[in-house]
Every structure is written in C-alpha cells, then in structure tokens.
Amino acid sequence: MQTVKLNNGIEMPVLGYGVFQVSPEECERCVLDAIGAGYRLIDTAQAYYNEEGVGNAVARCGVSRDELFLTTKVWITNAGEEKATHSIDESLRKLRTDYIDLLLIHQPFSDYPGTWRAMEKAVKAGKVRAIGLSNFYPDRFVDMAECAEIKPAVNQLKTNVFSQQWDAEAEMKPYDTRIMAWAPLAQGDPDLLTNPILTALAERYNKTVQQVALRYLVQRGIIAIPKSTHIERMKQNLDVFDFTLTPEDMESIRPLDKPADFRWSHRNPELVKFLLNYDKQFNPNNK
C-alpha cells in the first residue's frame, strides 16, 4: 500500500476504508472484508456509532495491530477538555486497542480548543499517534493551527473531482497538513458516472470512472477513504496503483471543480443546528 508521511513523521496509507453510514450490525463484517481485500487504513468516528464493530473486526482479522492504521473522531457532544478525555478512553475501549493512529475533531463547533488540548495530552500519554481536524474551513483551520502546540497532521474535508479544495490545500501547506478526503466518490453523484472527461479517461486506461476519480486524489497526495459494503467494490476501489494519470489528464479534471452548495456548508446556520442536535436524533443509545 502506498503511504504518505504526516508532519510528525508517521507513515499513513494513502487509501483506506471508511465506515460512515455502515450500520453497527454490518460494520464488523464489512471491516473484515476490507482488511481481507488489502485495506490497512480504517476510518470511523464516535458519531458513526460503529466503533465497536471496527474493534471486533480488528481483534478477529488476523493482521497485527501495528500493520493497521485506525482513525476515529471526537464528536461535538464530547467537546471540551474533560469530556473529550473521557470519550477518547471510551473510543479506545470500543476499538479494542491501546492506541489510536489518528484522532480528529469531527466538527468545528462547541469547545473544540478544549478538545484539542485533550488530544494533545493523549498524544503525550501514548494513547494517540497523530491528531488533526475534520471539516475545518481555511479560516478556522488557520486559527487552530496557529494556536495549537501540536500542529494538525490532517484536515478531513469533502474532497473529490467536483469539490477539489484548492483553497484549503493552499492554507494547509505551510503547516504540512494533509487533506483527507471524505466523499471521495462524490457520494453517488450521477454526474460522476456520465462526465465525458472522466469516462474518456476510464476508457483510455481500462479502468472505471471511480478508479480514475480516486487516482486523481492519490496523485495529489490526498488520503481517500471510499466506502462500500460490497467486497468486489472494495477491491475495485483499491485497484488504483497500476496506472498513472498524465499531467495533461490531471489538468483536464481540474475544471470539474464546482462551487460549494451552501445547503451543506458549515457556514449555513441550519446545518450547524442540525449537527449540534445530530447525536440526539441518531444515537441508537438514545432510542
């Protein structure tokens, strides 16, 4: 598996398996399938409510822990130094591991500076190897990066051929912070499969459009975490290391970048309210 080096020297797989919207009931089976297919980076979160499934799979998979790279995220309801500290220990318990490879603040709301302090302490205690952010736009990212003792290793953002994050990448570069792409396959956007530029490239390289889209991110040094519950699709998403897009190919994809949809912007007050109440609505333990 190809890796990238984070700003603290840790090597991280450039392609992994994400479990967002994988049900707790399916998660263990899906992660076992993904590890069996060759994935070594597994991305979960407290707010996915499936950390235990990931942990069970890690315990059963037969791959040594030091060959796996586990990512999870602290949710808004666990924000603040004290609550985040307890939640990190709870994530360790659910993941059945002594350490988390990469821990992120999931959303830029509530007391996220306090959460960051808890995460820095977890690094110093050996509970976490690297820390970073998720969904922090350039202004909030710079605010955190300038004030943090440990600089963010990663910022996980919606990144794909239609949401290319060039502005964010420019602001992150001085801190040597990597983009980690959620929704790397554009969350099933039908335009992905019908775009003439992407379909022409897929035909030229005898690959699928999805493989071309993932290869575009990999060649930019962006970490991608596609999700599927089907093992054949998992294998297909991983099969992107036997071809290379030319500089001209890469430039042909760049104009596909679209303006962000404000409905899903973290600057939209309605989305902020939705996220602040997310745990009350979707946490199965609340029902």
Integer Cα distance of 88 and 71 in angstroms: 12
Active site residues: 48
Mean pLDDT confidence for 30-49: 97
Write down how long the chain is: 287
Mean pLDDT confidence for 71-78: 98
Which run of H or E residues covers position 234? helix 231-238
Residue 145 has pLDDT above 60, yes or no: yes
**Are the CB atoms for 229 and 26 separated by under 8 Å?**
yes
User: If you search the block for the tokens 């690959």, which residue do you land on?
Assistant: 207
Phi, psi of 159 (to 5 degrees): -140, 125
| pLDDT tens string 240-252 | 999 999 999 999 9
Q: Which two tokens stand for residue 126?
A: 């050996």
**Is the pTM above the cut of 0.75?**
yes
Phi, psi of 230 (to 5 degrees): -110, 125
Which run of H or E residues covers position 155? strand 154-158
Mean pLDDT confidence for 59-65: 96
pLDDT at 123: 98
Name the average pLDDT for the chain: 96
Which residues does residue 4 pair with via DSSP β-bridges, in sequence order? Answer: 12
**Are the CB atoms for 279 and 286 separated by under 8 Å?**
yes
Instruction: Establish how many alpha carbons lie within 13 A of residue 265's alpha carbon, considering only the half-sphere containing its beta carbon.
Output: 10
- Say what percent of the chain tops pLDDT 90: 93
Residue 285 has pLDDT above 90, yes or no: no
**Are the CB atoms for 76 and 114 separated by under 8 Å?**
no
Residue 287 has pLDDT above 60, yes or no: no
Instruction: Identify residue 267 by its one-letter amino acid code.
Output: R
pLDDT at 1: 82
**Residue 213's pLDDT band (cuts 50, 70, 90):** very high
Which range of residues forms the domain containing residue 89? 3-286
User: According to the annotation, is 266 in a ligand binding site?
Assistant: no
The number of distinct structural domains making up the chain is 1
Which run of H or E residues covers position 103? strand 100-105
**Residue 260's pLDDT band (cuts 50, 70, 90):** confident
Least confident of 10-14, 20-24, 27-31: 20-24
**Are the CB atoms for 177 and 151 separated by under 8 Å?**
yes
Integer Cα distance of 50 and 25 in angstroms: 8
| pLDDT tens string 187-198 | 888 899 999 999
Mean pLDDT confidence for 76-97: 98
pLDDT at 257: 96
Q: How far is CA 202 from the centre of its chain?
A: 25
Mean pLDDT confidence for 151-169: 97
Integer Cα distance of 49 and 166 in angstroms: 31
> For residue 191, what is the domain's CATH number?
3.20.20.100
